[in-house]
Each structure stands twice: as structure tokens, then as C-alpha cells.
Amino acid sequence: MAIRTPQEYVESLKDDRVVYYLGERVKDVTQHPILRICIDWMAMDYVVENDPRYQDLVTEKNEKGELVPFVFMPQTNAKDLLRLREVVQLWARICFGKPPGAKFVGKDGLNALTVVTPRIDKQFGTNYAEHIEEYRKYLEKTDPTVALGMTDVKGDRSLRPSKQQPHQDYYVRIVDEDSDGIVVRGAKMHISQSPLSNEILVLPCRAMREEDKDYAVAFAVPANAKGITYISSEPEIKEPGNFFDYPLSASIYLDDALIVFDDVFVPNERVFMKKEWPFAGDMAYMFGNFHRLSAETYKAVELELLTGAAALMAEYNGIERAPHIREGLTWLTMYTETVEILGRAACEHCVSEPDSDLVYPDPMYANIAKFFFADNWHQATKYIQDIAGGIVATVPSSKDFFNPETHDMIEKYLGGKDGIPTEHRLRLIKLIKDLTSSYEDVLTLHAEGSLAAQRLSIYTLADFERYKAAAKRAARIKDGTEHPLFSQLPDFPPKI
Amino acid sequence: MAIRTPQEYVESLKDDRVVYYLGERVKDVTQHPILRICIDWMAMDYVVENDPRYQDLVTEKNEKGELVPFVFMPQTNAKDLLRLREVVQLWARICFGKPPGAKFVGKDGLNALTVVTPRIDKQFGTNYAEHIEEYRKYLEKTDPTVALGMTDVKGDRSLRPSKQQPHQDYYVRIVDEDSDGIVVRGAKMHISQSPLSNEILVLPCRAMREEDKDYAVAFAVPANAKGITYISSEPEIKEPGNFFDYPLSASIYLDDALIVFDDVFVPNERVFMKKEWPFAGDMAYMFGNFHRLSAETYKAVELELLTGAAALMAEYNGIERAPHIREGLTWLTMYTETVEILGRAACEHCVSEPDSDLVYPDPMYANIAKFFFADNWHQATKYIQDIAGGIVATVPSSKDFFNPETHDMIEKYLGGKDGIPTEHRLRLIKLIKDLTSSYEDVLTLHAEGSLAAQRLSIYTLADFERYKAAAKRAARIKDGTEHPLFSQLPDFPPKI
Amino acid sequence: MAIRTPQEYVESLKDDRVVYYLGERVKDVTQHPILRICIDWMAMDYVVENDPRYQDLVTEKNEKGELVPFVFMPQTNAKDLLRLREVVQLWARICFGKPPGAKFVGKDGLNALTVVTPRIDKQFGTNYAEHIEEYRKYLEKTDPTVALGMTDVKGDRSLRPSKQQPHQDYYVRIVDEDSDGIVVRGAKMHISQSPLSNEILVLPCRAMREEDKDYAVAFAVPANAKGITYISSEPEIKEPGNFFDYPLSASIYLDDALIVFDDVFVPNERVFMKKEWPFAGDMAYMFGNFHRLSAETYKAVELELLTGAAALMAEYNGIERAPHIREGLTWLTMYTETVEILGRAACEHCVSEPDSDLVYPDPMYANIAKFFFADNWHQATKYIQDIAGGIVATVPSSKDFFNPETHDMIEKYLGGKDGIPTEHRLRLIKLIKDLTSSYEDVLTLHAEGSLAAQRLSIYTLADFERYKAAAKRAARIKDGTEHPLFSQLPDFPPKI
Amino acid sequence: MAIRTPQEYVESLKDDRVVYYLGERVKDVTQHPILRICIDWMAMDYVVENDPRYQDLVTEKNEKGELVPFVFMPQTNAKDLLRLREVVQLWARICFGKPPGAKFVGKDGLNALTVVTPRIDKQFGTNYAEHIEEYRKYLEKTDPTVALGMTDVKGDRSLRPSKQQPHQDYYVRIVDEDSDGIVVRGAKMHISQSPLSNEILVLPCRAMREEDKDYAVAFAVPANAKGITYISSEPEIKEPGNFFDYPLSASIYLDDALIVFDDVFVPNERVFMKKEWPFAGDMAYMFGNFHRLSAETYKAVELELLTGAAALMAEYNGIERAPHIREGLTWLTMYTETVEILGRAACEHCVSEPDSDLVYPDPMYANIAKFFFADNWHQATKYIQDIAGGIVATVPSSKDFFNPETHDMIEKYLGGKDGIPTEHRLRLIKLIKDLTSSYEDVLTLHAEGSLAAQRLSIYTLADFERYKAAAKRAARIKDGTEHPLFSQLPDFPPKI
């Protein structure tokens, strides 16, 4: 099979998967008006794959000459990472800032496993790298959507997986194994698009100690595997199909579901880590490198949209020359462009995995990029809300605008600058409301790990020895330490 | 008639007012499931008035010995303002941070008119102060709900009311007058609770020049006056009665409507300004003094709730000892307590109106208080979202929690710290979602005027002469200017 | 003896104290050109006491009818605290923002001891309150300057006083005692004005555990007591008497010295705590309440000066109407006025000590006030430096301005707005340079405790039970807890 | 002549230039103890040029096979810009964060002229590009130090050069011309290192209108040209040679002097713009592109030093594990690395000048880089001062440390963590004091243009059409506008 069509993807979801939404079991997810929003959005991945204008970018020929998705291939140089970036930005630009979740997170898990499994094999004599390679072939051949199960539900966050918790299943773990495979139990939360995916790829979400070794597990299962239940998140959307009042939330639904694994069997060939606890942290960390960058990549496009909405609103309100508005637009521009350049730099300055032809994004830049966009998001929403005015909170429904009894009043009174149709102004206001929802706030802060997670990475990656050597040299502190960048420099001030 | 009962208030709304909501004319607002949320919230005002525990605080006896609402009485000293503060904070504490809108904004308009109309009368020989006094008596006697129409729809914000705008009705104006009264046209937007009010009090929203004098108008009309149409704002609420998933948004709906005045007649005795343009700014400014303080007053109570939600969430997640969480809670506490003290100070250090027994809140402190809470709000939501985690965006519906098929899974996996029922954790997550909505963001920024409005007030009020005198003395700049606080101080350094 | 004259104070310093400055023993501090700057500044306290215009404010009659300094008297109500505030602000206004250090810190130590010693006496049966009372009488009679030794040198900050440190003297401790008194050893650092004081009052700087009990010690000694050595800090000043180039740093020198106690004997009647370790924290904390307020009190006056310098500079440069400059001035005004009101509120809402007629400043507001001014200081310097321009870094010396060869060039080219003498502009630039020194930065951050110290106090003082009760009520969490403010409120929404 | 030696540079300064310092004419700048600090620092440029380890980097062979400074050559691709970056970072790393000013600013002026003069020639038929080329040959041959006169003294900043100002010389202008050249009058301020340079290159500092055309002038003159007077800025330094107490300020003195041009003659071949007013703005702007990048380039190295000082101080104080300290160090790391990557990106993504083989740094990134480091500097100093503690303000002089009478006390009491010599801790404290001076604050904010200047550039460069197209597409606003990036995208949501 070559790349799939959107229709094939939709059909593939009729597989008796166990999905709950707002208190009810959904028999056929493809017929559900809300879940269908998520499906249609994910299907854009296949629309793009089948669009001749984009095939050179988003697909590659495999050895058999079949078109396969580029994003399932291993990354071996900066050019690959930059192309990946281009793919994600195309996806995002088409879908109003949010790349369809078909393979968006799954590819990052695949990349992390590709880098880390050889490390495990080397130390433990396992053969996970082969498993991954087989799995990759399977993905290339079948072109499925792949969700990524990362975040465990955690229970009491101050306690470790194996200890003291009210029960032992707050992190996904191996509860049984035999010669054919393992049995896993637990739950992963806010797993975007999982109820509408074909494959579920699961990684550990943190470093583990020896006593936690049952929790050091990575694997893949089909989405309809026996024992899996999905409980969908409640979406922002209020009314499917109403793209006037809900331009984003009626177009995009991430369905960040809770996945419960109730003693699910995983065959050996889909197991990528089994109790090799020293590498659990590596996996979580390597996934972070790829995924923080992916997030930053689409965020730069989403910010283009946000900044555009602010600029347009300023214009529609006739305040585009007011100094504090210009300051806001300038700030938003800097924010947008800095996010773009930080992520691009993480690709351009990628790191080579030793004894391997693989690369991964520069971890320092990938983490800074994520931190930077998340840390400044609330300031950005403040600027755009400041520019847009109170009407974002108090705007009437488009139903009132289209009601002939009230249309003329709204047309007359909610207009802005001369020449701008009131309808355009109303549509833009609705867009801004959707862009600055609490959902967006939380997604921006927490997806790909909290601010604290990036802080920890950055602290760990910091080259303090270099920094301290600079300080010691300037302060004339001679304590016997040496640093290659500083130890051979000429004296300063000079003797002349 | 003495104070009204909640039932009387509800009945009073069956008066053929013209209200639209989501594209339909609402025949009887009291029977509408969504508008009823706003009505019930407003009715709390009457519940409190009729509760013997609170009557000493919220009511006064008039000269006839009838109980009348305290908030309709003029403010003559700091004690009055502090009592007003206590009333608002009681209201807010009962209603989850949002004081019922029955008289909440109306009283601020009444107070502003009480201070400013004598100034107009003095200069123009008018008798508006009598009109206000009569109106006050009427309000005391009938105990109605009073909405306040302040914000004009404005059109192109860079243009003045009378000039260049695409049409002349972007600000409410007098289009006709005769010996009995005036006829007004225009629209006011985001007028909270107006479709569910009994009285509409209208003030100009900005300073006017002579060419704008038709726009210098203040008046009161009954809510069902001929020619008035209300178009309700679209609420946050998704499901009336579902207090689990929407603890705030199913309890409180502000209905910040658009009011259209289509040539509405106002009898002379309800006109409080008619083309006396030099005082339009005074009115807007004085309303700002009272209303920014009112907002700050309830905000301190709302922040108590926000900070409490953060503290509770930290506890439920088991992270209350994590340093960055403690830092967040400390910041939220400072924010909460600073807002409280800034507003209290505006009352304690109130300003006396010359030749009058009236006072008004200290404008500098009232403006700083408003600016401070609005300017820091997005930081506060960032802290609470950071503490609460991604689950705020991805939590399933309570319907899944109460569905027997999924209940046990959610019970097991979405629990937090040992001993905390999962239900409590879920309820708290829903509260945080409601607390950090885009609606709350925009309301906090823009209600009572944008940040730019407070900045302008503060700049205007700043005692730069005192500040500059201090700098000149320290820099030994002698330029012939004198300032009483500095000109007589002993020399420094001394000669000893 | 009644209040002293400035001359008497100067003479009192000729007492063979052991003071080092820039590597040399200073024989007579009154003759030292740099130390004299500090002396003259401190002498302003006596100038003011002897100025009839201020005597009603700064002095009181004792029972013998003698004038005694008001600041040495106990504080028994809000009025006292507000008067204290007025005294400090007068001092600060005279001395370019920095109150003379004669009694400024000492009074806060005295107040803290006055509140805490009765608590110790009550639990331990000691008689420290009598000691303090006697000491107070002594101070009233002799009108000395009193420095306050608070901060220990600490060594490794991560270790407790009594344990693991490289030596045992990193905190001041009792090394011996007999029936007449105790012997103390250790050092206190950055003790402002101590080398030019008459009395040294010493308090513990932190809570102690039982094993640290030798470090739980408070006492007073004369500044020239045997065994005391002062090592002066290096001042900012470059040239005494050059008030043009150094308007602040040539007028004020805090001399934050290191005091070394090399086995100093303290007679019993001057000991105020001797190993009663459970109260060491109380003392440090109560001193913090008084002293953070004192700091905030003068800071409000210093900010008046800073904001004035910014406003004047904007004017001199002709940019006072530029929007971003106005924004800066508005921010500085808010900063200045918020600091003022936060401190005033700490007095107005003071706390009564149980079983006592004493009061102390509201700890929450005092801490918030300190935190607020320190946390925002760097932003304030950024604003003023932004307004002032690069010339603050590159301005030539006044010596060039007064050199006839270069005067005309500077006069011509470094002028600003028409009508402003170049000399005035230069003087102002120099003032801004002094105001934004690294010294000011660090003083603002660290004097009265670091930001972390205030954060800890605020966290400890936060009324989380109230906050959490508000959140539980809104989220409908019923867990059996009750809170008086919330448990009796009417139901919301109501049933009507 | 090939590259010069440090000695040759020093000798070259004995040329009767007219330099004033602290009120006195300096006869021989090479003998002046303070100016000599600046000279020695600048001489490091020649030390490096003559060091075989660095010659491959900092020099190139010209057509005659002579070594010439690389920084005087034109930039034709990203590699050139990255090499320039490497040169600046080497200089900065040697000199404690501040690249010696020998050619540091001059090269940016040269680069700007190289790009802009062909534009002028093309429009006006002039031959300035040839002048520049000749000048470049001269510079390559003689290897002088070149200062750059950019900032005019400006007078009233709200007025244009030619109008209303108290006099007409607030901006440098042409006052006379003949067939041999022009005569210029005016002054440039904060011109770093100019009194110790060989060449002075002058550019206009802003866009000009036709009425300002006499002010549209660019030229080069020898530093000792008749009519030039330098008035040195007052340095931070207190004591030459004392590297313990003043590790930076005794090593580096920028001497940001005022240069007065009192009718200075410039021969035609050194004139690079003469009244071609439409290009004045281009020059200022192009200089900004190069110089903001240069500044960012060394700043990344200076921040390495700042962050290192913070990390080392945390360690010396034993608080390196305290959470708020780690947060500070993490923030400083992000700040340092983000500045590095932003500047590097401006080189990697450089812009090609049309019809030319020249490139210049990406203006958006160069401006963001400058804004980012300047805007965050005060926060950085706050973090390091917070980490370092109050001792930065109160530390005694090294003279007390080396005085045998007090050495042991200081040794004992001002130690930190066990194993760290007190001397090292003291040296580090002094370094931090120097790093966080008011001078550094102002330099960071204002050198290369104020924050407002970068804001304006960024606003002007922002691709608002792209941003707005994104918003319109998401909001379904169809107004007939098209944008290539968006107009051809597939529909979203798709029809499947």
C-alpha cells in the first residue's frame, strides 16, 4: 500500500474501538458530530499527502518505489530537520495554526526511539533497534495515524511511581510477561487525538530508579487493542459547523483523551523498552527534544496568525497609529520572529548521535524555544485583548447578526473604521476570542512539558564551567582550574 | 413600598421589553433558561436585602422609616465608602466573586451624578441636582435594578463623535428636544445586565468639545421604554444547571448587552445633562473613580477565590511544598492583598467635594487599584494554570465521571494526593477552567476602562511639581521655582 | 541632659573607637574627610531635633519635662506609627531621600525588643522587659545614635550556625558568662553607620534551634567597647565636597561596616536575650516588621525624588510628550504612590500585641511594601535611564564645564530644550547617575532582607484557609471543613 | 606597511591632538594614567593581530601579499559575517567581555558606507563608492584605530535639526564648501575611544528631510585634524592598577568622549555623503544593522561572564542548590544563549544587497538581538545581585584585606563555603560590583540606539501582510486581498 487517502483513514476508524464522550459510549466515531471535527482535521494530513503540489515535500519514495510519508523516516542531518520543520509549518498554515495530529506527535516518539534504542541495545544486548526498524517499515507501508502516550496520570506528584502512592497504577507499568510479550496496566492522560488514531505509541514520561523498573516500558499497540478505553476530553466547541462564531474551535478539536490500559497485551516485536530503567529518562528527554521543537515549529505559525489578528483588529478599530497599540504590535512581532528563529536554530545546529548517522535537535535551543513561547504567551494574549477591546467578551452571536430583526442595528452600531464591513469586524472578534481561550493558555503552557520541565533541562544543559571560567579570569581568581577556551588567552591588560 | 423581594424583582421583568438572544426575540425573559441565570444572580441582591443577618449592613431607614437600600444613598465620608465596600464584598463573597449586578454599576453612576450635577448647576444655572435627588427618592422607594450605560460603540476610535465618522450615531446623542424632554439615538455596548434591569442610567463616556455638544447627555429611562432594543451577549455557559462542569459560568451570566436607542424619548425630570459639554469629561471621570473602586472591591474577593483555588490545587496534586509552586502562591497572595489594600485606601483617603458634604474615592488610588489588578491578571492566570497542570485543558466531562461504565476508571486514574476524593479534584479543575476563561481575561482588562484609560488618569493626577522639586533640591538646581514641601527645609549637608 | 546638639554628637565620637578605612586605622573619625560625610549626614538628626519648626513632631516631653526623641518611645497605636512615619519622611525629604542613620535602624531594634521581651519573660521568667525599659530611659536621657547589628556573616549559607561550618563564629554567640554578664564573639556585617554611632544594639538574625542556643543572644554595648573593631565599607564617593558631579554620593555615605566582636563583655543589664532560643525567630521577625516598614517609609520619599528626576529630565530633553516617555512617567508615579500607600496601610492597620498596650505594623502589608519596592526597583532604574539617555554614562566632569577652555563648547553642545541652562541639565544627569548606582540597586534589594525573606514572610502570613474556603464553596466541594466567613452565607444560585 | 604593533599604535597617538580630561588639557595621552587604560585596552587589537595563533582568523593577505586586518574587508556572504563574529568574540573573551575599541565600531561604519554609497551614486551620479574603496585601501595599509561618530548632541529632542532649535549646530552640518572639500561644524557625543583613535569616521544619525540637507553628511578625518576637540567622559575607575577592587573598571575605560568639530575641513576624497539627504536614513539604518549585531556579538560573551559570576557566587555562598537561586541561574543561561543564537541567526540569514556582491545582517534578527539583550539587562543584574547578597554594596576594600591589622578578621569572617579562599570570594564580589554598575546599565540600554529605536525598526520590518493574511483566512474574512503563502492552500476543514 502507498500513502492512504483521507477516506481510507476515515474508514479505518470503524474498528470497534472503545471511546467515551460526554458520558456515552460512541459506537462509530466517524459519525459523531464532535469527534468528526477532530477526524476531519486529522484527515488533512492525507489531503496534503495526496496533493501533487506538496508531495515532493511531504513524501519520499521507499526502496520499492512507493510513496511513503517523509515524517516517518529517520533524521540524519540538519536538512532533514529543516524539511520536517517545513512540513509541520505547511500543516499548521493550512489548519489555522494547528498541524493535524495524524502523525504530528507520533513522529517525535518514533524519532526518540530511533535514537535511544541503539543505546539500550548496546548496554543491555537487547534488539529494540530492530523492533523500531520493523515498526517503521510497518508505518511507512500502512500510513496510519499515530498517537503518542507520554504523560502518566501521576497521582500524588510528590511521590515516585513505585512508592507510597495510593495505588501502584498511577504510572503505566508491566504487570505480567511471558515469552510472547508483556501485559501493561495504567493510564496516560491528555493524549491528543488518541481516540481517532490508528496506532498508540507509549513511552515513559520520566527517569526511573531501579525500584521503578516495571514502569520503564515503551511499546506500540493498535488503537483498538483489547483492554484500551478512551475517555475524550471535553472540547471548547459549542456548535459544530458554526465557523463564524467559532472559527477555530469549530474547525479543530484536539481530543486530548485519557487512555486507560486495562491489562493490555503487547507482543514482543512491539516492545521497545522492558525494564531497562536507566534509559527511561533518556527516552523522555529525547522525546522532549523532538517534541518541544515540533511544538515551537507550529507555534511560530500560530503566532503569525495571532499577530495578524492583532494587527487587523487595530486597523478595523482605527487605532493602528496609537503609540501603545504600535508597541503591542511590535512586541508581538518580536515574539513571533524570535520563536521562529529559536526553533530554526535548533535544527541548523543539530546534534549528532555518536556511532550513528542520526541527529537530533539541539536540546538547549529546543528547550529555550519552548520555554520562550510558553512563558510569553499570557503577555501575548494580554496585548491582543488590550488591542481588541471589551467587545471580545460581549459580542453578540452571529445568529443576531443574521436575524433580519436585529441585523441592521448590529450592522450600524458594531462597525469600526469606515470601509470595513461590520461582518469582517465581527468575524475577527470571534477569532480573537477563540485564540485567547483558557484552553489555548493551558495547552501553550503545558503541552510538551511545563515551564519547570524546560527550566530543569536548561539548567542541566548549561555550560557552567565555561561561564565560571570567564568570571574567574576577569576576577583574577586562580584556583588551579583550567578551561580550554580561556587558559591560553593572552594576558589582559597587556604589558606594552 | 419598602425593599423588594426576589420574586417581585422577577415579576417586574414581564414588561414587554425587547430582548434578543442568539438570534431570537425573547418573549418572557424570566422563562428563558440562559437569561434566567442572570436573573437569579441579580435576585441575590434582594435575597440579601431581605435576610435579617445583613439588613443592618445593606439597608437604611429613610425619613419615613422605610427600609431602603444603603447603596442608593449619597456618600458623605470615608465610613460611608467603607460600608459600601463591605456591601460589595458581601455580595461578591456570596456569589463566587461576582457581585450581583442589580445595583452594582447603577450606584456608581448615581454617585457620579450626585457629585457632578451641582457643578453643572453652578456654572449653567440648571437644576440637575434636583433631578438626581428626585430620581434617588424614586429608586429608594421602588428598589429597582439599575443598569448603567457608559461605553458608546465608537466606530473608528481615532475619530471624535461629531466628525468624519461613517455616520453620526456612534455615540449616543440628542436628536430632538421639546419642552417636555429630549429624544436620544445611538447605542451603548457591553452594558452589563441591562436586559434584566428595571432602569437604564446613561452617561457620556468621554470628554466632549463644543462641536460634540449633542453628545453631552445624561439621563435615565425605564428598561422597557419605547425604542430600546437589547441584544444579549453570547455567554460562556454551555449547559444551564451543570454546576459540576461549569461552577462559575452556570451560576453567573453578566449579559453584557448591546443597547440600541432608536429615538427614545426622555422626560425632562430624568435628564441630568443636556449639551453642557464642558462637564461630560467630569462625569466620565467621576464615574471612573467610583466604578474602578467598585471593581477593585469585588476583585479582591474574586482573587481570594482564585488564590484559594491555586492553593487547593497544589494540595490536591501533592506539590504544595515544591519551591516554584510556593513562589506562585506567594505571588498570588501578594496580588490579592495588595488589591485589597489599594482599594481600601481609596476609601480611607477619600476626597471631599468643595462646598458640599459629598466625598468620592481618592482618584489616584482608585486608578492604581484598577490598573494593578488588571495589569497583573494574566500573570495570575499563568500561575494558577501552571500549578493546576495540563488537566485543566483535557479533563473529561462529569458525565463520564457519573457514567457507571467509566466512573471507576476516572475515579482510579484522575485521583491526586491520597485522601482527596477524585470528585473534589475534578470539581476544582473545572473551577479553574472557568476562572481563567478568555471572558474573565477581557472583563478584567477592559471593564471600567482599559489600561490606557487608567494610565491617562494617573499621569494627569501625578504630583509632578512635588516630584520635580525633590529632584531639583538634590541636584542643587536653583531655577527660582519654589515648592512648599521643600523650600523651607534646613540645608543639607549641614555646616557643623 | 535633654536632646543633644549636632556638635555634641560629633564630640562624642572622640572615644578611641577602633575603626579601619581603606586599609588604615582612623585615629579620629571626626577628622576623616570621608567618614565625616557620614557624620554630617547623621548629625542632621540633631539639627532637626533642635529646629523649633520640627520639635513638636520629633520630640516629646518625658515625665521630668525634658525633651526626648519621639522615636525612642514605645508605639501604642496607629497614630504613633503614623507619626513615626512622618518623622522618617521628614528626615528623608531633608536628606535627598535617605534618612540620617542616627536612630533610624536602632529605633526598629528597640521597638522589636519592646514587643518581644515580655513574651520571653512570660515563658522563661526572665526580666528582659525591665532591661529594655532601663535602656530606653538611658537612650532618652543621653540621646545617642544607635546602630543595629542584625546580619551575621553566615559563612556557608546552607549550613546552620552551630554545625558543620568551617568555624563556629559565623554567627555571633555567647562564648562565656559569669554572674555579671556575658562574653560574645562573632561579627555582624553591613551594619550601617556603626563606626559613627554611640550605641550598638545586637539581635539574632534568624530562628534558632536548641543546638544553636548559644547564638540566641541580644544585647547593647557602647560603640567603643573593648574588643570591638569596625571595618568600614568602601563608599561610592569619589571626591568629597564635589556636589555637582556627585550630588548624592558626596552628601551621603552609609558606611555599612563589618563589626567584629572579639570576646566583648556585656553586663547583665544590657542583655535582652540569653539562650532563650525559641524567641530568636520572633526577634528577627519583629525587627523585620518594623524595619521593612521604615525602609518603605523613606523609599516612598526617595521615589518621589527618582520620579521627579525622570520627569525633569524628560522636560529638559524636550521629550515629555513622547508616548513611551509618558508611559514611563506614569509607571514611576504608580510605583511611587503604591509604595506610599502600602506602608501607610501597614501603620493604619497595625496589630495589637496581646496583653499589652503595644502595637506593631501589619506584617503582611509591611512585607508586601518592602517586596514591592525592591522587586520593582530595577524596572524603575530602567525607565529613568531610558528617559535620560546615554549621556548618563558619558557625561564629562563638571571640571571640564568650569574649565574656561572647554566651558563654551559644553555650554553650547550639551544643552537641551531651549531655556534650560546647560548647567541644570548636567546637574540632573549627575543626579541620575548617582540614583541608579549598583550600590542603590543592592541596597534596595537586600537591606531589610532579601526578596526571598519577604516571600517567606508573606507565604507564612497568607490566610490560605480563607482563600481555600472561597474556592471550595464555588467548586461545590463539601469536605466537612468550615470557615466562619463562608459557612453561613446564603445559597447561591438562589431558589426563587 | 603591514599590520601595526601595539607599540606603533601607542606612538601614533603623540600627534598634538586636543584632548581634555577632568578639566585639564592632556598634553600626551600616552602618559596619562587613566587614558592609558583605554590605550592599553585598544592595543590588545594589535596584540592579537601579531599573535600567530590568531592571525589566520583576524588577518587576510591583500593582493600584495601583505597581512591586513580582516575586519576592514567587505562582507560578501554569511561565512564572512560569521568570521567577523568570531573575531569580535575572541576580542571580547580576551578583554573580559568588552572587545577593544580599536576598530570595533569603525568597521561597522565602514560596512554601512560600503553598502549605501553605491545606492547614492546610482541615484545622484556621485562617486562615493570610489572614495570608500580608496579609504579602505588606506585603512588596510596603515592599520589605524577608527572611531565612529554617530550620535549628534541633538538639543531639544522633539525638534528637527534645521528648525526651531536654540542654535543650528545641534547636529553636525556642512557650513562651507569649495572645490577641495567641505567645512563641518557641530559635535558628536558618547563617541567611544575617539580621543585615543587615529581616524574619526562620521555618519548622520537619523533620516533627514530636504530642509535638513546640510546635515546629510558623512566623512572621515584624522583624529588630530585642526578644529577637533575631545572632552573625555568621566570614567568609573577610582584607582588605576587596582585590579582586585576594580577588576573591570581598572582594565577597561571606553572613554565615550564628546567630539567638537569647530569648522573642520574635510577634503573631497574623504567625503562620503554631501547633502544627498534621501540617503541619510539609509546610512543610519545600515550602520544600525551592523552595529547592533556587533554589540550583540560581544554581549553574548559578556553574558557568559555575568552568568559565570552568578554561578560562582552561588557556589561560594553555599546556596547553589537553593531553588530560587537555580531559577536565577537558569534564567541567566537562557538569556545568554538566546542572545548568542539571535545574533548568529542574523549572520546565517544575512541579506544580499541587490546588484552587488555585498551582504548585511538580517535587520529583523539584528534588531531583535539588540532589543532582547538590552530589554532584559536590568532583570539580569537583579538576579545576580539577588544571588550575590548585600555584601556587594558593603564589602571593605582590598586594602583592609591586605592590612595585617585587619587581614585575619576579614579572612575569618568574610569567608563563605568551606574550601573557598576568602580572597576568591572578595575578588568575585568586586567583579559583580563592576558588572552591575550604572554605567553598564546605561551602556547596555543606549549604545547602538535606545529600545525605542529598535522597536521602530522592528515595527517597520514586520511582515504584517503575511500575518494579516493568516488571520483573515482563519476568520473566513474574504476581502479580495491575496497573499502568496495563503491564497493557494487547500480548504480547511476538508470535505471528505
Q: What is the pLDDT along chain B (496 residues), one digit of tens a residue?
A: 579 999 999 999 999 999 999 999 999 999 999 999 999 999 999 999 999 999 999 999 988 889 999 999 999 999 999 999 999 999 999 999 999 999 999 999 999 999 999 999 999 999 999 999 999 999 999 999 999 999 999 998 888 888 778 899 999 999 999 999 999 999 999 999 999 999 999 999 999 999 999 999 999 999 999 999 999 998 878 899 999 999 999 999 999 999 999 999 999 999 999 999 999 999 999 999 999 999 999 999 999 999 999 999 999 999 999 999 999 999 999 999 999 999 999 999 999 999 999 999 999 999 999 999 999 999 999 999 999 999 999 999 999 999 999 999 999 999 988 899 999 999 999 999 999 998 889 989 888 888 988 999 999 999 999 999 999 999 999 999 999 999 889 999 999 8
Using the Cβ of C324 and the Cβ atoms of chain A, whether some distance falls under 8 Å is answered with yes
The whole-number pLDDT of residue C371 equals 95
Tens-digit pLDDT profile for residues A230-274 = 999 988 888 999 999 999 999 999 999 999 999 999 999 999 999
Size of interface A-B (CB pairs under 8 A): 266
Tens-digit pLDDT profile for residues A16-32 = 999 999 999 999 999 99
The whole-number pLDDT of residue A160 equals 86
Least confident residue range of A38-42, A155-159, B174-178: A155-159
Q: Grade residue C449 by pLDDT with cuts at 50, 70 and 90.
A: confident
Looking at chain A from residue 327 to 346, which residues have their Cβ under 8 Å from any Cβ of chain C?
327
For residue C472 the three cell numbers come to 471550595
A233–B414 CB contact, under 8 Å: no
The whole-number pLDDT of residue D2 equals 76
Concatenated DSSP letters of B151-192: -B--SSTTS-TTSSSSSTTSS-EEEEE-SSEEEEEEEEEEEE
Angle at B230 between CA B225 and CA B232, to 5 degrees: 155
Q: Please tell me the distance in Å from A252's CA to the nearest CA on chain D.
A: 8
Using the Cβ of D428 and the Cβ atoms of chain A, whether some distance falls under 8 Å is answered with yes
Q: Which residue of D has its CA nearest to B328?
A: D324
Q: Which residue of A has its CA nearest to B451?
A: A386
Residues of A in contact with C327 (CB under 8 A): 324
For cell 426576589, the residue is B6
The whole-number pLDDT of residue C1 equals 56
B158–A397 CB contact, under 8 Å: no
| Closest in B40, B306, B470 to C493, CB measured | B40
Using the Cβ of A324 and the Cβ atoms of chain C, whether some distance falls under 8 Å is answered with yes
Q: Please tell me the distance in Å from B323's CA to the nearest CA on chain D.
A: 6
Cis peptide before B493 (omega within 30 of 0): yes
Looking at chain B from residue 391 to 420, which residues have their Cβ under 8 Å from any Cβ of chain A?
391-397, 399-400, 402-403, 405-406, 409-410, 412-418
Q: Which residue of D has its CA nearest to C447?
A: D390
Q: Is the dihedral of CA D30, D35, D36, D40 positive or negative?
A: negative
Residues of B in contact with D327 (CB under 8 A): 324
For residue D173 the three cell numbers come to 552640518
Q: Which residue of D has its CA nearest to B321?
A: D323
Q: Grade residue D1 by pLDDT with cuts at 50, 70 and 90.
A: low
The whole-number pLDDT of residue A1 equals 56
Question: H/E element holding C274?
Answer: strand C271-274
Q: Which residue of B has its CA nearest to C7?
A: B496
Q: Which residue of C has its CA nearest to B8?
A: C496
List the chains bordering chain B where 3 or more Cβ pairs fall under 8 Å: A, C, D
Looking at chain D from residue 31 to 90, which residues have their Cβ under 8 Å from any Cβ of chain C?
none
D44–A488 CB contact, under 8 Å: no
C301–B471 CB contact, under 8 Å: no
CA distance between the termini of chain C: 76
Q: Please tell me the distance in Å from D188's CA to the nearest CA on chain B.
A: 26
Q: Which residue of A has its CA nearest to C327?
A: A324
List the chains bordering chain D where 3 or more Cβ pairs fall under 8 Å: A, B, C
Residue C245 contacts residue D410 (beta carbons within 8 Å): no
Q: Which of B292, B293, B302, B305 to mutate to test the interface with C (most CBs of C within 10 A)?
A: B305
Residue D247 has pLDDT above 70, yes or no: yes
C400–D22 CB contact, under 8 Å: yes
The whole-number pLDDT of residue B179 equals 97
C97–B474 CB contact, under 8 Å: yes
List the chains bordering chain C where 3 or more Cβ pairs fall under 8 Å: A, B, D
The whole-number pLDDT of residue D237 equals 82
C-alpha span between A185 and B156 (Å, rounded): 60
Nearest to B471 by CA among D447, C336, D475: C336
Q: Grade residue C395 by pLDDT with cuts at 50, 70 and 90.
A: very high
Q: Grade residue A165 by pLDDT with cuts at 50, 70 and 90.
A: confident
Residues of B in contact with C474 (CB under 8 A): 96-97, 247-248, 305, 309, 431
Tens-digit pLDDT profile for residues D454-465 = 999 999 999 999
Tens-digit pLDDT profile for residues B379-405 = 999 999 999 999 999 999 999 999 999
The residue type at B491: D
A470–D97 CB contact, under 8 Å: yes
Nearest to C66 by CA among C18, C1, C153, C129: C1
Size of interface A-C (CB pairs under 8 A): 5
A23–B397 CB contact, under 8 Å: yes
Tens-digit pLDDT profile for residues C98-147 = 999 999 999 999 999 999 999 999 999 999 999 999 999 999 999 999 99
C390–D447 CB contact, under 8 Å: yes
The whole-number pLDDT of residue A135 equals 98
Tens-digit pLDDT profile for residues A106-127 = 999 999 999 999 999 999 999 9
Q: What percent of chain C has pLDDT over 90?
A: 90
Report how far Cα B444 is from the mean position of its chain's Cα atoms: 10
The whole-number pLDDT of residue A163 equals 74
Q: Please tell me the distance in Å from C199's CA to the nearest CA on chain B.
A: 22
C-alpha span between D262 and C412 (Å, rounded): 12
Nearest to B320 by CA among A156, C451, A168, C478: A156
C496–B348 CB contact, under 8 Å: no
Residues of A in contact with C323 (CB under 8 A): 323-324
C-alpha span between B218 and B282 (Å, rounded): 12
Q: Grade residue D85 by pLDDT with cuts at 50, 70 and 90.
A: very high
Q: What percent of chain C has pLDDT over 70?
A: 100
Q: Which residue of A has its CA nearest to D89?
A: A485
For residue B73 the three cell numbers come to 444613598
C441–D385 CB contact, under 8 Å: yes
Using the Cβ of D244 and the Cβ atoms of chain C, whether some distance falls under 8 Å is answered with no
Q: Grade residue D496 by pLDDT with cuts at 50, 70 and 90.
A: confident
| Closest in B156, B406, B443 to A417, CB measured | B156
Looking at chain C from residue 441 to 470, which residues have their Cβ under 8 Å from any Cβ of chain B?
455, 458-459, 462, 464, 466-470
- Say which DSSP state C173 is in: E
β-partners of residue A147 are A200
Q: What percent of chain A has pLDDT over 90?
A: 90
Q: Please tell me the distance in Å from D153's CA to the nearest CA on chain C.
A: 6
The torsion of the CA quartet B126, B128, B131, B136, rounded to 10 degrees, works out to -160
Q: Please tell me the distance in Å from A474's CA to the nearest CA on chain D.
A: 5
Q: How many CB atoms lie within 10 A of CB C479?
A: 9
Residue C2 has pLDDT above 80, yes or no: no
Concatenated DSSP letters of A323-368: HHHHHHHHHHHHHHHHHHHHHHHHHHT-EEPTTSS-EE--HHHHHH
Question: H/E element holding C306?
Answer: helix C280-316
D322–C158 CB contact, under 8 Å: yes
